[in-house]
Amino acid sequence: MVSMGGCFVSCISKRDLLSQICSWIESRECGRYVAAVNVSKIVLLQKDRKLASFMASSSINIADGSPVYYAARLLGSSTIERITGIELMEDLLRLAGQRGFRVFFFGSKQKVLDVVLEKCRRLYPGLTIAGARNGYYTPEEEQIIVREIAASNVDILLVALGLPQKEYFVHDHVRELRCPLILPVGGGFDVFAGIKRRAPRWVQKIGVEWLWRSMYDMSRAKLVKDGFVPFLKIIGRDLYQKGLLKRG
């Protein structure tokens, strides 16, 4: 693994990650989650102790964004592999369909969630839907949702809430949820349902998907504006502390 801005990033291939997840599910080892590392999280966790604790306590942190992937290589990791959250989610759904794993879908708007469930039934007939709940709830309902998920005997829990709401939810309830794997997927349901588009394949390959998304999504554009410069400063500090960058 490589350390970046006070957060670790795992040097693991997607193949090994999926194999590890299967092992957790088959042995019913509960209380594990995989987190995606991107520019926004690296910047936010500098001042958000709860988010920092969430990232530090995860079983595996994947390099989700291209900037994180290239920064990890600069910091000395030659074996890092970029694994995007949406691709991991789709791989897990496919795997669940093949092995009959139970999946609980939590988050997003109800109309988006309905499309996700219908698409999963069509694409992955072997997948068992353990339960589903949209992401709109009051603080008083949170514990009810936790108990519902725990009672569903779920193998994979997908949490499609915003940043840092999904991280806080997992951080606060990871043990109570009694789930072998929790995967916070953010806007993954919107992408899977076709509500939001990913960049064209050639844009993904050259590593500027974040820039493409910011061109049509104003919230993403703000994240780039407010987060990218601080991110570069954080990486510069890490490079300097490792002796990989000299001042002046």
Q: What is the pLDDT of residues 120-134, one digit of tens each?
A: 999 999 999 999 999
What is residue 209's predicted lDDT score, i.e. its pLDDT? 56
Task: State the total domains in the chain.
Answer: 1
What is residue 1's predicted lDDT score, i.e. its pLDDT? 86
Q: What is the pLDDT of residues 30-61, one digit of tens each?
A: 999 999 999 889 999 999 999 999 999 999 99
Q: Report yes or no on 155 lying in a domain.
A: yes
Distance separating alpha carbons of residues 196 and 51, to the nearest angstrom: 26
Start-end of H helices in the chain = 14-27, 39-44, 49-57, 66-74, 85-99, 110-123, 142-151, 165-173, 188-192, 201-205, 209-216, 218-241
Share the mean pLDDT of the chain.
Answer: 89
pLDDT confidence tier of residue 207, bands split at 50, 70 and 90: low
Task: Give the rounded percent of residues in the chain with a pLDDT score beyond 90.
Answer: 75
Res 203 pLDDT > 50? no
Question: pTM of this prediction?
Answer: 0.89
Q: Report yes or no on 187 lying in a domain.
A: yes
Distance separating alpha carbons of residues 39 and 227, to the nearest angstrom: 7
Range of the domain at 22: 2-241
Nearest residue to 97 (alpha-carbon basis) of 108, 89, 106: 89
Q: Report yes or no on 219 lying in a domain.
A: yes
Query: Is residue 165 a contact partner of residue 14, using CB atoms and an 8 Å limit?
Result: no
Give the H or E element holding residue 35. Answer: strand 34-37
Distance separating alpha carbons of residues 74 and 43, to the nearest angstrom: 18
Res 106 pLDDT > 50? yes
Q: Which of 74-88, 200-214, 221-235 has the highest average model confidence (pLDDT)?
A: 74-88
Q: Report yes or no on 247 lying in a domain.
A: no
Q: Report yes or no on 199 lying in a domain.
A: yes
What is residue 90's predicted lDDT score, i.e. its pLDDT? 96
User: What 3-state class would DSSP assign to 62?
Assistant: strand
Q: Report yes or no on 118 lying in a domain.
A: yes
Query: Is residue 201 a contact partner of residue 178, using CB atoms and an 8 Å limit?
Result: no
pLDDT confidence tier of residue 66, bands split at 50, 70 and 90: confident
Distance separating alpha carbons of residues 162 and 182, to the nearest angstrom: 15
Q: pLDDT: is 157 or 208 the higher one? A: 157
Distance separating alpha carbons of residues 139 and 28, to the nearest angstrom: 29
Q: Report yes or no on 12 lying in a domain.
A: yes
Q: Report yes or no on 246 lying in a domain.
A: no
What is residue 16's predicted lDDT score, i.e. its pLDDT? 96
